[in-house]
Structure 1
Amino acid sequence: MPTVSPRIATAVGTTNKRFHWLLTALLLQLVAAPFLAGATAAIIQDLLFLGILLAALRVAGQSRLHRVNCVLAGLCACAILVKYATGQLSVDIIGDFLGAMVILLTTVEVSQYLSRQRRVDLDTVLGGLCVYLFMGALWFLLYSLIERINPGGFDFTVHGHDLLGNKRDSLLFFFSYVTLLTTGYGDIVPLSPVARTLAVLEGIAGQFYMVFFMARLVGLHVAEKER
């Protein structure tokens, strides 16, 4: 009966669980965001976001890009702490910008890792789903930056006006993923040219990614069958 080298078996086991914690953190934020309210909502959201950053750094490789990502993640964590100590809007903006950069670089790293795979397994599928969820998180931070820098970039229609920061962020989070899925309920409307442009780009990116990723999975599966 053939045996598997312990070294190979360990490597395969580790690889198969590469994206488990990252996907768990992303799904936890996605599910918890609509139910968070009150004074502790912002704190919980930031803790979930820091958890995502930590999980993201675990899946990245030891490249120069990864080292830059670690520095940005550390600066983002510091900005979040300073935000609660000072309450300044500028610090909040810097934190969102750094968070967006970390998510963008992590998305690039995960995409590079997936592009090197030559077979379809659970690890590949979970990694692709993480990239898709990262796209929604990235655009949410961009929408949040727009609304903080230039208030009034979005009309929240039935949700009311002059919303508090936590409620506004929760709605923008919802809007980002609805736009990514191209569902478009119409309860949140981008008004400024920058907001409209970002919404269009997110819809295009979401549809293109799904088509590209599914085509890649099918191609790898067919190639594996032929081998």
Structure 2
Amino acid sequence: MSELNSRTRRREILFPWFLLATLLPLLVMPFTNLEGNSIQRLLLPVTALNLVIMALRIAPQDAFRFGAFSLLSIYRALGLLCAFVMWLPFIRGLHVPHQWHFPILAAISAFYLATAVVIVLILARVDRVNERVLCLGAAGYIHLGLTGGQLATTLEVLSPGSFSLGSMLPGEELVERLSYFSFITLGSLGYGDVLPKTAVAESFTVMLSLSATLYVTLMIGLLLSRYIASEVELGD
């Protein structure tokens, strides 16, 4: 077994925990409220911190390496920044200065995008398919939806009115509403209650829909080929 595959296999034990870390934000979003009590304000930063920690733990040591230059330290710093800024709404509620909104969302979106790349890198180098690898594949799809929600929120804050948000529920946050839109888009459901209203938002929605199709297609092909290869190896 190559050293690369050996390092990847050692991280497999973390994949189910990373799947849980991607699911937790979806589970707690309906109960978060930036103007609510301490528990309601605490839920999102705690789950976000857990997701950041798990993403950093599964990241290969040679991720983002270009020759002798590695961007892994930048990725880790971005993760720490993301974890820090997630606590600002808990500390200040809805009173975070408006000029901070876009930098905060941009930092979170950048980390989420980088983590999506990490997931694809890991899945591209696995040499076998088991329950843990399938957990990472499922986590990648969920993480794609979370990333789409963060990017859509960043776009809406940068250019208000990019999306028609429909009737938001009492206490529902913008990121929660647009994460809902992201997952509806990934699932090709398109209920029509949240819609893009600008050309940029429409292009983003198309790219989000395409990324979901490409992810599922590529992961099915990749994991199937790895499974067949492992079965042939066992047969020999």
Instruction: Give the conservation status (yes or no) of the 8 Å contact 1:181–1:207.
Output: no
- Which among 96, 103, 111 is matched to residue 87 of structure 1? 96
- Which among 39, 55, 59 is matched to residue 36 of structure 2? 39
Amino acid at match of 2:205: A
SS in 1 for 2:128: coil
- Which among 164, 173, 180 is matched to residue 167 of structure 1? 173
Shift of 1:182: 1.3
Amino-acid identity (%):
25
Amino acid at match of 1:150: S
Shift of 1:36: 3.4
Alignment of 1:10-159 (within 5 A): 14-37=10-33, 39-40=36-37, 41-63=40-62, 64-82=70-88, 84-85=91-92, 87-157=96-166, 159=167
**Distance (Å, rounded) in 2 between the aligned partners of 1:151 and 1:139:** 17
Shift of 1:56: 0.8
Instruction: Give the conservation status (yes or no) of the 8 Å contact 2:28–2:43.
Output: no
Say what the alpha-carbon RMSD is for the aligned residues. Answer: 2.5
**Distance (Å, rounded) in 2 between the aligned partners of 1:223 and 1:172:** 40
Mark the runs of 5 or more structure 2 residues left unpaired by the alignment.
Answer: 1-6, 63-69
Shift of 1:71: 0.6
Q: How far does the alpha carbon of each residue in 1:110-146 deviate from its partner, in whole angstroms, 9 at most, with x for none? A: 2112111121112221111122112111111111111
**Distance (Å, rounded) in 2 between the aligned partners of 1:12 and 1:142:** 29
- Report the counterpart of residue 212 of structure 2 in structure 1: 206
Alignment TM-score, normalising by the size of structure 1 = 0.84
- Report the counterpart of residue 229 of structure 2 in structure 1: 223
Mark the runs of 5 or more structure 1 residues left unpaired by the alignment.
Answer: 1-10
Aligned residue pairs: how many? Answer: 215
Alignment TM-score, normalising by the size of structure 2 = 0.81
Instruction: Give the conservation status (yes or no) of the 8 Å contact 2:79–2:111.
Output: yes
